[in-house]
Structures are given as structure tokens and as C-alpha cells.
Amino acid sequence: MTMSVRERTKIGALLTIGVLSSATMLWLFWHHPVGTALVTLVVLSALGVSARLARWIDTDCIPDLKRSKQGA
């Protein structure tokens, strides 16, 4: 399986961003543990609420779509 230069560049960029993000998080946690932990909890909570809202909105719209297709 051969990969193009563009695909390799994308993979390298993704890995670089992941490593930099991890290093930054570790540095912040080492120097500011309480603040980093609080911000992490807030961000994870916001993502959880966003996921629940997305699921709720998605399931809320499905019956409307089914009804409109049956009437047509």
C-alpha cells in the first residue's frame, strides 16, 4: 500500500499536533495543577452537555421527518 506525500504530511501534522497538545497539557498540569484540573473538568462537562443536546435534537427531529415522508 503506497501513500502519497500529501497523506504522509497529513499524518505527520496530526501526530505533531497531538504531541504538542499532550506536552502542553502535561506542562500546565505540572505547573498549575488545580487550575488545569478545573479547566479540564469544565471543558469535558461542556462536551458532555453538547453531546447530550446533539443526541436530543437528533432524536427529536426524527419523528417529524418520518411523519412528513408518510404524508407525501
The reported pLDDT for the residue numbered 58 is 78
- The pTM (predicted TM-score) of the whole model is 0.58
Contacts of 3 (CB under 8 A, 6+ apart): 11
Which grid coordinates belong to 38?
478545573
pLDDT tens track for 44-62: 999 999 999 988 887 766 6
CA 50 to chain centre: 10
Domain ranges across the chain: 1-31, 33-72
